[in-house]
């Protein structure tokens, strides 16, 4: 694919075309990485008629530059570190612990807010399609993959609209299948590959999740 996606919904529709082999399979669960992955995942789930849920991962942002990841945490206390970033920026253990504690609280808040009384899906022996709106450093997706592996799914598929080629190559080695239509060599941020890229709200995540679970 060349050029830009119009928005996350269009990106989801394009990804769905590449995932048709999973259509109407009761053993498939699409897991969105909220918030930005939810509008993408919703369109895939709708097109394929498969289950949709969330899997919450939080980036461990560098102090004073929180968009820059020094690692990530996922449900189940899985932590992935980007040691190159930590060493390069001389980030101390105390600072790392503070950031982890803060993000754990946010992860728990989102889990409660999005899921409500709904139990998490059963992952064991299922085909899991992990979806986000793009991958920049790969830390968030790595944490999600590592956390899911502990639950012994049959297969893990990662499907994202855009990511830089080196990250695509790295993530592809960690999963059973990797789908990414747009792999630009000059990559600064996920948002640059969308014409319309507003922040996804908590309310939108809840609305889309409710739309497919009721």
76: left (phi over 0), alpha (psi -120 to 50) or beta: left
**pLDDT of res. 15:** 98
> Which fold does the domain 59-114 belong to in CATH?
Ybab; Chain: A; (3.30.1310)
| Residues 81-105: tens digit of each pLDDT | 988 889 998 999 999 999 999 999 9
| Residues 124-175: tens digit of each pLDDT | 999 999 999 999 988 889 999 999 999 999 999 999 999 999 999 999 999 9
**pLDDT of res. 10:** 98
Average pLDDT of the chain?
93
pLDDT at 212 over 80: no
* Average pLDDT score over residue span 65-71: 83
Reported for 52-55, long-range contacts at CB under 8 A and 24+ positions apart, including other chains, are 52/209, 52/212, 52/213, 53/29, 53/120, 53/121, 53/209, 53/213, 54/114, 54/115, 54/205, 54/209, 55/31, 55/130, 55/144, 55/147, 55/148
Ranges of CATH 3.40.50.2020 domains, the chain: 8-57+119-209
Cα–Cα distance between 78 and 144 in angstroms, integer?
8
Ranges of CATH 3.30.1310 domains, the chain: 59-114
pLDDT at 214 over 60: no
> Which fold does the domain 8-57+119-209 belong to in CATH?
Rossmann fold (3.40.50)
């Amino acid at each position: 694919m060349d050029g830009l996606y119009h928005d996350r919904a269009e990106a989801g529709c394009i990804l769905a075309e590449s995932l048709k082999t999973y259509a109407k399979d009761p053993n498939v669960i699409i897991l969105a990485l909220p918030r930005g992955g939810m509008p993408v995942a919703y369109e895939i789930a709708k097109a394929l008629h498969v289950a949709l849920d969330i899997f919450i991962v939080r980036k461990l942002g560098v102090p004073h530059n929180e968009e820059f990841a020094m690692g990530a945490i996922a449900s189940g206390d899985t932590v992935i570190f980007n040691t190159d970033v930590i060493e390069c920026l001389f980030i101390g253990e105390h600072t790392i612990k503070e950031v982890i504690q803060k993000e754990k609280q946010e992860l728990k808040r989102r889990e409660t807010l999005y899921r409500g009384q709904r139990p998490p899906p059963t992952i064991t022996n299922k085909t899991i399609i992990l979806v986000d709106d793009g991958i920049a450093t790969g830390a968030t997706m790595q944490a999600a993959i590592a956390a899911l592996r502990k639950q012994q799914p049959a297969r893990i598929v990662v499907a994202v609209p855009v990511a830089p080629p080196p990250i695509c190559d790295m993530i592809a080695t960690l999963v059973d299948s990797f789908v990414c239509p747009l792999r630009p060599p000059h990559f600064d941020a996920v948002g640059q590959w969308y014409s319309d890229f507003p922040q996804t709200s908590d309310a939108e995540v809840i609305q889309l999740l409710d739309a497919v679970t009721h």
